[in-house]
């Protein structure tokens, strides 16, 4: 009970004195993360949904091996569905260097198919020496780089320094300690010193104590919005409570805009179009990003509130997956993120025109009624889907540190 109370307080209390830097796409994110790991002296903690064994995944492996060879404690947690195809040579190399690679709910293929799709570890967190953290939606894969081609993803992350980093570190360690009962390295400073003027709340979603924490922060921000709301989200199909707050904000004169995928990377993304007319009828403006797949999960409200993290606004993220967002009150970070989104809308999006008012046929009425009730009931019946106590599987026992090796050129700063 005490742990539950403390975690609840953590997700509802603003922490002062932080600094955030917005990192757009892999071109900004990967060099910043790799440089931080290169400079690590005590500890590196990483949680990610996906690592692909491409030039980014290989560069990550190599920089982690070099850190471990210097005596840095390195813990890497990946999801068993998102990261299912790493080769034995990749995982053995990490283990030989002393990196502890854990797999969240590993699943065995049956007839070549994976069935461990529900309740995934979808977070993207990096914490280095308890002093610097990274949070956002970017996985360790080359499809977050522009040279990947037309399928390269548009996405956002942030580097974070200041007292809030202590909470991110504590959270990442709790997951490891709860499963492995391993003693973590000697405690770094309990809380880093102030680094800026931003207030922040670290918010997570899980299937035990924080079922809807991220969604509640979105709804609270929408309720208090007075001038502007811009939400950019890759997979958009929220529940009716969030839709209701969007409509209410637009109806009281708030400029509410959604940036959604215009070039979906998955067919199911097109289901968001079922909600367009419902939102547009209240005054919500919808923009589709058409340059390449959108993978971002960010939002700004008025001139101070913003959020960045791993959570989409769809049933998987809002009711099943394990997610992590940072909610921020800071005019500078808000202004930078808002400017990037304005540029995105102006240069790479098309606005979806609201249909002219017309009588609604019985098929459309039936469709809207079904969609409404599915959205309203989903958080309830999602709880009936298969659940079990998650397991962390150590990919291979750590061995003696290996000699440092060189990372591929072009990915370190």
Residues forming the active site: 122, 124, 129, 295, 297, 302
CA pair distance 129, 73, nearest whole angstrom: 9
How far is Cα 219 from Cα 93, in angstroms, rounded to an integer?
Answer: 45
Q: Which residues of 117-153 are buried (b: 16+ CB within 10 A; e: fewer)?
A: ebbbbbbbbbbbbbbbbbbbbbbbbbbbbeebeeebb
Q: Residue 347: how many CA atoms within 13 Å on its side-chain side? A: 7
Residues 6+ apart with CB under 8 A from 232: 156, 258, 259, 260, 289, 294, 296, 297, 298, 299, 341, 344
Q: How far apart are CA 81 and CA 43, in angstroms?
A: 26
Distance separating alpha carbons of residues 94 and 401, to the nearest angstrom? 9
Q: Which of 122, 121, 149, 152 is closest to 30 using CA atoms? A: 152
The answer to whether 52 and 22 are in contact (CB under 8 A) is no
- Contact between 298 and 311 under an 8 Å Cβ cutoff? The reply is no
The structure tokens listed for 350 are 């098309």
The tokens 């990915």 sit on which residue? Answer: 411
* Rg, the chain, Cα only: 21
CA–CA dist 29, 246 (Å, integer): 31
63, 36 contact by CB (below 8 A): no
């Amino acid at each position: 009970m005490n742990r539950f109370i403390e975690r609840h307080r953590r997700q509802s209390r603003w922490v002062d004195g932080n600094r955030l830097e917005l990192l757009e796409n892999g071109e900004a994110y990967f060099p910043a993360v790799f440089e931080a790991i290169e400079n690590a002296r005590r500890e590196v903690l990483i949680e990610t949904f996906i690592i692909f064994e491409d030039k980014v995944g290989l560069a990550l492996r190599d920089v982690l091996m070099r850190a471990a060879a210097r005596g840095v404690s390195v813990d890497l947690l990946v999801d068993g569905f998102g990261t299912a195809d790493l080769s034995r040579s990749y995982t053995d190399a990490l283990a030989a260097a002393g990196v502890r690679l854990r797999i969240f709910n590993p699943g065995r293929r049956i007839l070549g198919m994976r069935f461990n799709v529900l309740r995934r570890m979808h977070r993207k967190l990096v914490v280095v020496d308890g002093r610097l953290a990274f949070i956002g939606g970017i996985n360790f894969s080359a499809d977050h780089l522009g040279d990947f081609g037309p399928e390269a993803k548009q996405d956002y992350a942030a580097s974070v320094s200041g007292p809030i980093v202590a909470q991110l570190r504590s959270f990442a360690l709790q997951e490891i300690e709860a499963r492995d009962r391993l003693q973590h390295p000697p405690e770094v400073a309990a809380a880093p010193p102030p680094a800026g003027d931003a207030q922040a709340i670290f918010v997570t979603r899980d299937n035990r104590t924080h079922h809807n924490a991220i969604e509640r922060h979105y709804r609270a921000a929408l309720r208090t919005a007075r001038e502007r709301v811009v939400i950019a989200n890759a997979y958009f199909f929220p529940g009716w409570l969030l839709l209701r707050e969007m409509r209410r904000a637009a109806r009281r004169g708030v400029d509410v805009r959604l940036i959604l995928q215009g070039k979906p990377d998955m067919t199911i993304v097109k289901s968001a179009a079922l909600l367009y007319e419902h939102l547009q009828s209240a005054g919500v403006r919808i923009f589709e990003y058409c340059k390449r797949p959108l993978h971002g999960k960010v939002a700004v409200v008025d001139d101070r509130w913003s959020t960045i993290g791993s959570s989409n606004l769809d049933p998987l993220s809002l009711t099943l997956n394990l997610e992590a967002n940072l909610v921020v009150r800071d005019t500078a970070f808000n202004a930078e993120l808002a400017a990037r989104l304005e540029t995105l809308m102006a240069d790479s999006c098309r606005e979806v025109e609201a249909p002219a008012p017309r009588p609604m046929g019985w098929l459309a009425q039936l469709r809207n009624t079904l969609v409404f009730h599915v959205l309203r009931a989903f958080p309830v019946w999602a709880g009936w889907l298969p659940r079990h106590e998650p397991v962390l599987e150590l990919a291979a026992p750590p061995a003696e540190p290996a000699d440092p090796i060189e990372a591929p050129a072009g990915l370190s700063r």
